[in-house]
Amino acid sequence: MYRIFLYSIILCAGVWSTAGTRAQAPKGNILIRNGTVLTITRGVLPATDVLVMNGKISQIGKELKAPQGVQVVDATGLYVMPGIIDAHSHLGIDDVNEATNPITAEVFTGDVINPYDINIYRALAGGVTISHALHGSANAIGGQSETLKHRWGLTDPEDLKMEGAPRTIKFALGENPIRVHGIGRNISPRTRMGVEMVFRRGFMEARAYDEAWKKYRAAVKTQPNIAPPAYDLRMETLAAILRGEILVHCHSYRADEIYMLNKVCQEFGIKPVTFQHVNEGFKVAPELAASGSYASVFADWWSYKFEVYYSTAYNAAILTRNGVITSINSDSEELIRHLYHEAAKTQRYGGLTDEEALKLITLNPAIQLGISDRVGSLEVGKEGDIAIFNQHPLSVYAIPQMTIVDGIVRFDISRDPADMRLYVDPTEKIKPILWQEEDFDHCMDGTEALLEEQ
């Protein structure tokens, strides 16, 4: 009886025995001297120093003194900005889609982090210090996703997790879940209406599941001899969404279904939702702002399938000016290397200010990932994630010079030898490459075999 009781306490606390505690990823000290500091939240500071101690920004000011032995970087003539954050990426993970079920809330991309993925280093070379390793969009409710810190050089996957970042999960609307499950396997959802039902059914079941466990935990205190409900990690996860413990990121294109999910989430008390892609977001921008939803968009990428025909490069600007917290994402290991260019496009298409444009790739994605108290701007007390550019990062001539994570230099253009791999396959045949892989987004990775079935 005691064990059951103890068990329920453990369940309540949401903590399972974590026998071994791991040491945290290393943090560094660095002084960046005399750069043009783009703080994002406190304006532009010319000829200013930034001091990072033990991984955190300890001072921003003029003529700072670095303690003995701290690395000093001369940023005279250079631009210093917060590390770029990508709210939608699939790099650094070995699996993207567990595409076998319309709901796979229990799976977690954080379980399959690949610290050896060279694309992490390439993203660093584009000034990106944090990426959101999202599950794909094959399922209405896909997997939980990990916020990665690009600590290139560390080999333990756990070290790439941004410790303490909120849990997130991927939802998907429209053609992808319909194609995989409805058309591919003739099960629900087969229509956009069906997708809505998958959410409603899932949340109702989770609500009942949560109720059953709550009832059990309350009753077991006085009646130790009762049976526990069946355990189900999928339902546990959905229940955690309903309790507001997991941030929702939803793959979406069309205004009608964006509106649909917003309504469903409001009904079940889930907020805020970050709508990903959200190519028709400009049509429902006031509604998104009113509901407190966020948007994470491409700068100018659409027409790659039927439901994405109607879009505009003004999307980010329209959403921003309507008061929607908006970010620009990559969903691609190529685009992630020049998100600063992607952000600059909003100045050509929509005339955003420098600060508004830079927020799209720094503070705003940080808000969407629930980490804006720690990263996304250069402020004392925030983490030492910094990108240094030769020109203003919104200039078409900008080239990242150095990228720093937690005060440790993880990319330095002056020390960038040809072969930066951490893992070398001991048996692969070294041969000239004859075919070029096409660059796709990876939202549908892992679904090919399933789709062939039909």
Partner 1 sequence: MMYKLLRTFCQGLRIPVFLYGLGLAPALAQESRPLPPVSRVYALEHVTVIPAPGRKLEDVTIIVRDGLIVDIGKGIAVPGEASRIAADSMYVYAGFIEGMSHTGIPRPKEDESGSAPRVSDPGNPPHQVAGIQPERTVAEVLKTDDKSIETMRQLGFTLAHVAPRGNMLPGSTALVLLSGKDDDAMLYKTPVGAFSQLAPARRVYPNTTMGVMAMWRTLYRQAELGHTHEKNYASNPVGMARPAYEHTVRALYPLADKSQAVYFRADQPLDPYRIMTLQRELGFRLVLTELVHGTSVIPDIKAGNIPVYLSLDLPERPKPVSNGADSLSAAAQEKAALEKRQAEARTSLYQQAAAFAKAGIPFGFSTLKLKDKDFRTNLLLMIEHGLSEDQALAALTTNPAAMLGISQAVGTVEKGKMANLVITDKPFFTKEAQVRFVMVEGDMFMYEATAKNPKSGAAADTGSASVSAVGTWSYTTETPQGSSGGTIVIEDKNGTLSGTFDNDQADSPTSIESVSLNGNVLTLTFSVNADGQQLPITVEVTLSGDTMTGTLSVASFGTFPLEGTRTAKPD
Residue with Cβ nearer partner 1 (43 or 417): 417
Helix (H, G, I), strand (E, B) or coil at 202: helix
Residue 454 binds to partner 1 (criterion: CB under 8 A): no
327 Cβ contact partners less than 8 Å away, ≥ 6 residues apart: 85, 87, 294, 295, 296, 297, 360, 361, 364, 365, 368
Least distance between partner 1 and beta carbon 100 (Å) = 4
Kindly state whether residue 373 participates in binding partner 1, applying the rule CB under 8 A. no
With CB under 8 A as the contact rule, the residue among 46, 222, 433, 454 that binds partner 1 is 433
In this structure, the dihedral spanned by the alpha carbons of residues 160, 95, 136 and 451, taken in order and rounded to 10 degrees, is: 170
Within its chain, how far is the Cα of 420 from the centroid?
Answer: 24
Q: Are 375 and 382 in contact (CB under 8 A)?
A: yes
Stretch that binds partner 1, among 10-18, 56-64, 169-177, 275-283 (CB under 8 A): 10-18
274: helix, strand or coil: strand
Does 13 participate in binding partner 1 (rule CB under 8 A)?
A: no
Q: Is 300 in the site for partner 1 (CB under 8 A)?
A: no
Site string for partner 1, 163-202 (x = CB under 8 A): ----------------------x-x---------------
Contact pick of 59, 100, 266, 395 for partner 1 (by CB under 8 A) = 100
Between 1 and 396, CB nearer to partner 1? 1
The one-character DSSP state at 222 is: T
Our separate counts of H helices and E strands in the chain read 13, 16
Site membership for partner 1, residue 9 (CB under 8 A): no
For partner 1, what does the binding mask look like between residues 382 and 421, x meaning CB under 8 A?
------------------------------------xx-x
228 binds partner 1 (CB under 8 A): yes
Residue 229 Cβ, how far from partner 1 at the closest point, in Å? 9
Beta-carbon contacts of residue 209 (< 8 Å; ≥ 6 apart): 229, 232, 235, 236, 238, 239
User: Among 23, 29, 132, 185, which residue's Cα sits nearest to residue 365?
Assistant: 132
Rounded least distance, CB 114 to partner 1, Å: 6
Structure tokens at 255: 């205004």
Of 189-197, 262-270, 403-411, 434-442, the segment contacting partner 1 by CB under 8 A is 434-442
Cis peptide leading into 82, omega within 30 of 0?
no
Q: Which of 295, 240, 267, 13 is nearest to 108 (CA)?
A: 240
Which residue in 112, 179, 168 sits closest to 142, CA to CA?
168
Residues 303 to 342 in contact with partner 1, rule: CB under 8 A: none
Task: Please state, in angstroms and rounded to a whole number, the distance separating the CA atoms of residues 280 and 252.
Answer: 9
Q: Judged by CB under 8 A, which of 13, 17, 69, 381 binds partner 1?
A: 17
> What are the residues binding partner 1 (CB under 8 A)?
1, 3-4, 7, 16-20, 22, 94-95, 97-102, 104, 106-109, 111-112, 114-116, 143, 155-158, 185, 187, 223, 225-228, 230-234, 418-419, 421, 423-435, 437-438, 446, 449-450, 453
